Amino acid sequence: MKLNERIALLKAGYTKADIDQIIADEAAAPADPEPAQPAEPSADYMKVLEALANEVKGLKASVQAANIQNTNIDTGASVPTAESILASLFEEPKKEN
């Protein structure tokens, strides 16, 4: 512990015995603990992730299918039906007054 840190502790109200105890605790603690090994994901965790991924794929396919089904392309031009074409061939033209 540096001198500035000890002075700050004294100003904060710690006694010499308290500071000595803090220094002893720091010396007893290892300076560089070993880094923890990253845990391997459990099989259950992987199953849950796989199930979620499959659910998202299914939802995506459903939304895409609904979008395709609900698509209405309006070209602006009216397309005559076969019935209207045949009717126009056999109808007599209307005379205008």
Q: Does 93 fall in a domain?
A: no
Q: What is the pLDDT of residue 41?
A: 67
Q: Does 85 fall in a domain?
A: no
Count Cβ atoms below 10 Å from residue 59 Cβ, excluding itself.
10
Q: Does 80 fall in a domain?
A: no
Q: Count the domains in the chain.
A: 1
Condensed to tens digits (0 to 9), the pLDDT of residues 64-83 reads 999 988 887 777 677 788 98
Structural domain span for residue 62? 3-30+40-66
Condensed to tens digits (0 to 9), the pLDDT of residues 34-70 reads 667 767 767 788 899 999 999 999 999 999 999 988 8
Q: Does 88 fall in a domain?
A: no
Q: Does 76 fall in a domain?
A: no
CA pair distance 78, 84, nearest whole angstrom: 12
What are the two backbone dihedrals, phi and then psi, of residue 45, each rounded to the nearest 5 degrees? -60, -45
